[in-house]
Amino acid sequence: MSFDEDIIQTIWEKGRAMQEQDATRWRQDECGAWMFREHYGVTDTEFGWKIEKVKPDLSEHADSFRPFHYRNGYDIAVGTPRCRVAADRVELAPTGRVDRPRNRDL
């Protein structure tokens, strides 16, 4: 499915903004994986992302979609994310600040 830039931006903004990173460039998906705005549709990078349908309706309205790391997805039948990648917070204190986003396999 092809989306125009306004819809891509609207869906991007549904990603989780994190205080320690610039939300115009970095967001997290529902699995907690980091995504980089300029890497939409890119699958050969750690931070590539895609737009995934999350509602079983036939609507192509932005409310029916969410941003996901390209290796994660959404199971519409069950109503839950399919997580294969999440943010890597290993060796980071519980209240530690993420200076450089990184992901890890689950």
Contact 12, 29 (CB under 8 A): no
What is the pLDDT at residue 59?
76
pLDDT digits 0-9 by tens, 11-39: 999 999 998 899 999 999 999 999 999 99
Structural domain includes residue 59: yes
Write down the pLDDT at residue 66. Answer: 98
Q: Which residues fall within 8 angstroms of residue 71, CB to CB, at 6 or more apart?
A: 33, 84, 85
Number of domains in the chain: 1
Question: CA-to-CA distance for 83 and 23, rounded, in angstroms?
Answer: 22
Residue 25 domain-assigned (yes or no):
yes
Would you say residue 45 lies in a domain?
Answer: yes
Q: In the chain, which residues have pLDDT < 50?
A: none
Domain-embedded: residue 21: yes
Q: Nearest-CA neighbor of 72 among 18, 32, 19, 21? A: 32
What backbone phi and psi angles, to 5 degrees, belong to 64? Answer: -90, 0
The residue range of the domain holding 45 is 5-90
2 within 8 A of 65, measured Cβ to Cβ: no
Task: Answer yes or no: is 102 within a domain.
Answer: no
* Predicted TM-score of the model (pTM): 0.91
Per-residue model confidence (pLDDT) at position 2: 86
